[in-house]
């Protein structure tokens, strides 16, 4: 059992050394539709299977033994359909705008379409829903360095619009193939969407006043 002096020392050491995780390793999804979910994620991320059994599967898109795992929980009740508190989405970064748009094109050919495409400022992002409604963000960094992206969060532009500007991925892909410089395509407004087609970010009420 920790006594007060031990806890105090550990807290001081952690604060001084600022120990943080080395990386985000993986996440695990409970699913009532095991095979359907496996098929969707394999299609979206071209996942390799590290291990699969009727109750659990471990999959990866790189040299890590698993990045996404699935638990077969068909016996559990479904998640509520209405909006509720919890994790909103999980995001994956691609190496270039070309990689992101070619992935969009490949998935479109499979009948998998994003419900929202938006340039947040720091990233250009496409949001998808898996077969159980979980939201997945595929993104590309808009800045060459983390310092530039971080600085954007303190800019007047971000303060004025912290959500971003919608874009049309087909127009963006067309412009990319036409030779428009990538730096220009990563700017907000590069492929505008008509206001009536813009995605409504949320219908949730604002949090209660403190």
- Read out DSSP for 32-60? S-HHHHHHHHHHHH-PEEEEE-SSEEEEE
d(CA 208, CA 103): 40
133 φ/ψ sector (left φ>0, alpha ψ -120 to 50, else beta): left
**Where are the chain's structural domains?**
23-75, 87-196
Please report the pLDDT score of residue 11 as a whole number: 53
pTM over 0.85: yes
pLDDT in tens, 14-66: 556 789 899 889 999 999 999 999 999 999 999 999 999 999 999 999 999 99
Judged by average pLDDT, the poorest of 36-45, 119-128, 191-200 is: 191-200
The reply to whether 87-196 shares the fold of 23-75 is yes
23-75 maps to CATH 3.30.720.120: yes
87-196 classified as CATH 3.30.720.110: yes
Residue reference for tokens 């209660």: 208
């Amino acid at each position: 059992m920790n006594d007060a002096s031990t806890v105090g020392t550990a807290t001081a050491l952690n604060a001084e050394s600022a120990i943080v995780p080395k990386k985000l390793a993986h996440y695990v999804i409970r699913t009532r539709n095991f095979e359907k979910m496996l098929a969707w994620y394999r299609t979206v991320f071209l996942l390799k299977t590290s291990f699969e059994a009727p109750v659990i599967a471990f999959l990866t898109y790189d040299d890590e033994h698993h990045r996404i795992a699935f638990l077969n929980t068909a016996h559990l009740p479904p998640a509520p359909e209405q909006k509720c508190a919890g994790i909103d989405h999980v995001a994956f970064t691609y190496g270039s705008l070309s990689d992101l748009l070619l992935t969009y094109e490949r998935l479109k050919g499979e009948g998998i379409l994003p419900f929202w495409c938006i340039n947040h400022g720091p990233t250009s992002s496409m949001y998808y829903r898996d077969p159980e409604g979980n939201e997945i963000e595929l993104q590309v960094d808009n800045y060459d360095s983390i310092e530039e992206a971080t600085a954007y969060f303190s800019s007047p532009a971000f303060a004025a619009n912290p959500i971003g500007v919608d874009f049309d991925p087909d127009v963006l892909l067309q412009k990319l193939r036409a030779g428009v410089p990538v730096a220009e395509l990563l700017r907000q407004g590069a492929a505008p969407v008509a206001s009536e087609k813009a995605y409504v970010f949320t219908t949730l009420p604002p949090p209660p006043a403190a």
